[in-house]
A and B are shown apart, each in its own frame.
Chain A
Amino acid sequence: MAKNANRWLYIILLVAVLSSFAVIIFDLAPKKYWWLVLVTINLAASVSTVYFVKSFGVKVGLSLTLIIAVLGYVFCSSARLLPFVRENDLFSHYYYFTIACLWVVVMALSKALTQNMSIAFRTMFTFLMILFIEYCMMPVMALFEHYKRGHTEYLFYAIQLSGYLVITGFTMIF
């Protein structure tokens, strides 16, 4: 029964991803409501929680997920690290929660994809993957925030993305 529950969670994730792709590609919803796409990241975080539980055991896996999520949430929400979030309403806290979920996903991915490598290569690869995924998802959240405020130009996306890419390039070089 537990196996079936985990498989159904995976199938729900795939269905949610396909529906969000349909929303993006065919313009089913106005762009103000595209932040519903972020729900798929939360589902991916639950799937990666299942992966942690499978690989470490129930106690250690759940506590690891909780530690990563709570640290990300507290760090983002108390230090105001996101420059595009101006207000303090429910949606901004949803952004913080989504970023914490994204950290859980990234940790699970870096464990799963680098499981058979040597230690040095594993460290480098994990570093690269964390930089890549975080810096690709941040401008999307900035774009959703600007849609919510009523700015429908795409200039913010380009500016944020080019800034993050420049930062990533300098980090890699040095």
Chain B
Amino acid sequence: MLFETTKLTRIDSLWQGRMYSVFIIVVSLPILIGIKVGHWPSSVLIIIVSSSILVVAKSKERRENSQ
């Protein structure tokens, strides 16, 4: 998750770019707690859905920027 987000998000001083890391922070808390508690299918599902949300958001932004 961290590797993917470091590949996807560019580090800049814009606050819109920093909100991506805020999204990762908010989402990674239930992932870790699910793993430690022992309910690992929930954390796998959260990883899949959140990474798909990130990929869709970044792809839309890139297409808009290239135009």
| Chain A interface helix/strand/loop/mixed | helix
Given A132-B49, A136-B46: A115 and B26 within 8 A (CB)? no
Contact at B39–A157, with CB atoms within 8 Å?
Answer: yes
Contact at B16–A143, with CB atoms within 8 Å?
Answer: no
- Of all chain B residues, the one with the shortest Cβ separation from A3 is B13
Contact at B61–A116, with CB atoms within 8 Å?
Answer: yes
Of A17-25, A66-74, A78-86, A88-96, the segment with at least 4 beta carbons within 8 Å of chain B is A17-25
The one of A17, A102, A125, A165 in contact with B56, judged by C-beta atoms closer than 8 angstroms, is A125
| Chain A positions 12-50 with a Cβ under 8 Å from a chain B Cβ | 13-14, 17, 20-21, 24-25, 34, 37, 40-41, 44, 47-48, 50
Distance in angstroms between the alpha carbons of A129 and B56 in the assembled complex:
12
Distance in angstroms between the alpha carbons of A143 and B53 in the assembled complex:
26
Given A114-B57, A116-B64: A48 and B19 within 8 A (CB)? yes
Please report the total number of B residues contacting A with Cβ < 8 Å. 33
Q: For residue B65, which residues in chain A have a CB less than 8 angstroms away from its CB?
A: 116
**A41 CB, nearest partner CB in chain B, Å:** 7
- Of all chain A residues, the one with the shortest Cβ separation from B54 is A113
Distance in angstroms between the alpha carbons of A44 and B19 in the assembled complex:
9
Q: For residue B20, which residues in chain A have a CB less than 8 angstroms away from its CB?
A: 112-113
Contact at A44–B22, with CB atoms within 8 Å?
Answer: yes
Q: For residue A54, which residues in chain B have a CB less than 8 angstroms away from its CB?
A: 15
User: What would 6 A/B residue contacts be, using CB atoms closer than 8 Å?
Assistant: A40-B25, A48-B22, A113-B57, A136-B27, A140-B29, A154-B39
User: Which residues of A are at the interface with B, using a C-beta cutoff of 8 A?
Assistant: 10, 13-14, 17, 20-21, 24-25, 34, 37, 40-41, 44, 47-48, 50-51, 54-55, 102, 105, 108-109, 112-117, 121, 125, 128-129, 132-133, 136-137, 139-140, 143, 154, 157-158, 161, 165
User: Which residues of B are at the interface with A, using a C-beta cutoff of 8 A?
Assistant: 15-16, 18-23, 25-30, 32-34, 36-39, 42, 45-46, 49-50, 53, 56-57, 60-61, 64-65
Which 5 A-B residue pairs are closest in the complex by CB-CB distance?
A112-B19, A116-B64, A113-B57, A136-B30, A51-B15
